Amino acid sequence: MRPREFDHDDVLRIAFDQFWRKGVRGTSLSDIARDAGVQRGSLYNAFGSKEALFLCAYERYASEYLRSLQKALGVGTLRQRLTTFFHVTIKNFRSGTPPRGCPTTRGLMELGSVEGEGLDENARQAFADLMSRITALIQDVLSEGARRGEFDGDPESAALHIATVTRGLAVLERAFGDEAQLRKIAAHTVNLVLGKQGR
């Protein structure tokens, strides 16, 4: 078997950066091949299609993003953990120049309503899987906080609420680009979940 002509991880990083900035529809394999310094045919041979390349690149992104959220949710009081979680989330939306927004929300907007148009069911499932895993991380932290006396609500419902707020933040970031507003909403959400005082 002939060895790969390129660094797989490097190509996924370059591809995802383009998908994130321009969307899947706005990105071509030729653009990715040019920026990665590889032949377009090599990308087809390795991945099969632009959509398949996007899924591989998205899975790489999702793993890295989950690790950053696990780190954010791993230290401090429950309030500190949730505050850091929102900080990392907003920082992710606001990364890039100009800010690139949320890749998951952007990808969901590119799902095709009919077969052969836009991203498909595999992409929808990848987006849903990441959101489920994020929600589970939050629920685990809230459950731990409940055991420590820092939270007296329902961890499952509160985790879903927090995850839902992140989707709203992603949309507001695209509409207004106002980071201060996003942080104000995040702080208010933490207060709603935990109460303003004490914990």
Task: Pick the more confident residue, 112 or 23.
Answer: 23
pLDDT, tens digit (0-9, with 9 covering 90-100), for 173-185: 999 999 999 999 9
114 contacts 123 by C-beta, under 8 angstroms: no
pLDDT, tens digit (0-9, with 9 covering 90-100), for 37-60: 998 888 989 999 999 999 999 999
166 contacts 105 by C-beta, under 8 angstroms: no
**pLDDT band at 1; cut points 50, 70, 90:** very low
pLDDT, tens digit (0-9, with 9 covering 90-100), for 110-154: 886 555 556 788 999 999 999 999 999 999 999 999 999 999 999
* pTM across the whole model: 0.90
Q: What is the mean pLDDT of residues 72-87?
A: 97
Q: What per-residue confidence (pLDDT) applies to 2?
A: 45
Q: What per-residue confidence (pLDDT) applies to 196?
A: 78
Domain spans in the chain, listed from the N-terminal domain onward: 58-194
Mean pLDDT value across the chain:
90
Query: What is the DSSP track for 27-94?
Result: --HHHHHHHHTS-HHHHHHHHSSHHHHHHHHHHHHHHHHHHHHHHHTTSS-HHHHHHHHHHHHHHHHT
The CATH homologous superfamily for domain 58-194 is Tetracycline Repressor, domain 2 (1.10.357.10)
Report percent pLDDT > 90 for the chain: 71
How far apart are the C-alpha atoms of 167 and 65, rounded to whole Å? Answer: 15
Structure tokens at 181: 């507003």
Q: In this model, does residue 28 exceed pLDDT 50?
A: yes
